Structures are given as structure tokens and as C-alpha cells.
């Protein structure tokens, strides 16, 4: 069932997941210590999502047609710094756990929403 959910999410909501993560990262990058995995960037002055991949869907709970679940997403984030008149950028990986909900009817997910987000690895 987990792979079925993962496939449905990738097929129907990939762009929505990407857009949510992009917006969250651009507006909240200072909440995460992204320099921990960086080699060149010392202070993150900007960040944007480069790539997002759903790794797994778990903790699925269904009540009638309403479904709640968690999703683990690996994100490649482009971070940037400015030093001595030069822009410095590099890509770092950050995993996020998304709390999601949807409606499952006729083997199709609808009304998908991301209800919460937390850093999975710190």
C-alpha cells in the first residue's frame, strides 16, 4: 500500500509538493542549519529548492475516505553566500517529514494537502 501511495503522489501531486517545499525553503531557510553539510558556504543568505524526491510514505491512517499520512522527502537545496565581492553557491541535502492528508475515492487521491513540515535529519 505504501508504494501505491508513493506512486499516486508522484503522479498527481509532484508539482504541488515541489512548490510547497520551494516556498517553505525560500521563506524559512534560516530555521535550518544548512551550513552543517556545506563545504564552501559559511552563512546562508539565500536558499532555493533544486530537487525534491519522495523517499517513502508511512504512518497511513484512514477514516472512511479521509486519509492522513507522513511523507519523507529528500531535498537538494541550493544555498548561497556572498564573500569578498563574490557569490558562493553549493547544493546541500536536507530531509523533511511532511504531514499530509487527502481523500481516497475510487482508488484516486484528491483534496491533497500538506498540513505540517519538520526537518527529518539535523
- Count of domains observed in the chain: 1
Is it the case that residue 18 has pLDDT exceeding 60? Answer: yes
pLDDT tens-digit readout, 29-46? 999 989 888 898 988 999
DSSP characters over 66-96 = EEEEEEEEEEEEEEEEEETTEEEEEEEEEEE
Assess whether pLDDT exceeds 80 at residue 117: yes
Mean pLDDT of the 104-120 span: 91
Residue 80, C-beta contacts closer than 8 angstroms, at least 6 positions apart: 41, 44, 45, 46, 47, 87, 88, 89
Q: How confident is the model at residue 116 (pLDDT cuts 50, 70, 90)?
A: very high
The chain-wide mean pLDDT, for the chain, equals 90
Please determine, for residue 70, whether its predicted confidence score (pLDDT) is greater than 80: yes
Q: What is the mean pLDDT of residues 1-28?
A: 87
Domain extent, residue 94, equals 2-119
Range of 38-47, 77-86, 93-102 with top mean pLDDT: 93-102
Amino acid at each position: 500500500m505504501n508504494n501505491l501511495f508513493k506512486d499516486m503522489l508522484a503522479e498527481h501531486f509532484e508539482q504541488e509538493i515541489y512548490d510547497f517545499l520551494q516556498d517553505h525553503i525560500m521563506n524559512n531557510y534560516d530555521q535550518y542549519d544548512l551550513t552543517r553539510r556545506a563545504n564552501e558556504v559559511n552563512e546562508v543568505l539565500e536558499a532555493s529548492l533544486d530537487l525534491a524526491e519522495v523517499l517513502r510514505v508511512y504512518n497511513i491512517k484512514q477514516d472512511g475516505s479521509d486519509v492522513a499520512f507522513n511523507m519523507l522527502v529528500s531535498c537538494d537545496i541550493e544555498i548561497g553566500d556572498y564573500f569578498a565581492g563574490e557569490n558562493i553557491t553549493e547544493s546541500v541535502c536536507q530531509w523533511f517529514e511532511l504531514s499530509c492528508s487527502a481523500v481516497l475515492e475510487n482508488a484516486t487521491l484528491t483534496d491533497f494537502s500538506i498540513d505540517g513540515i519538520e526537518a527529518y535529519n539535523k
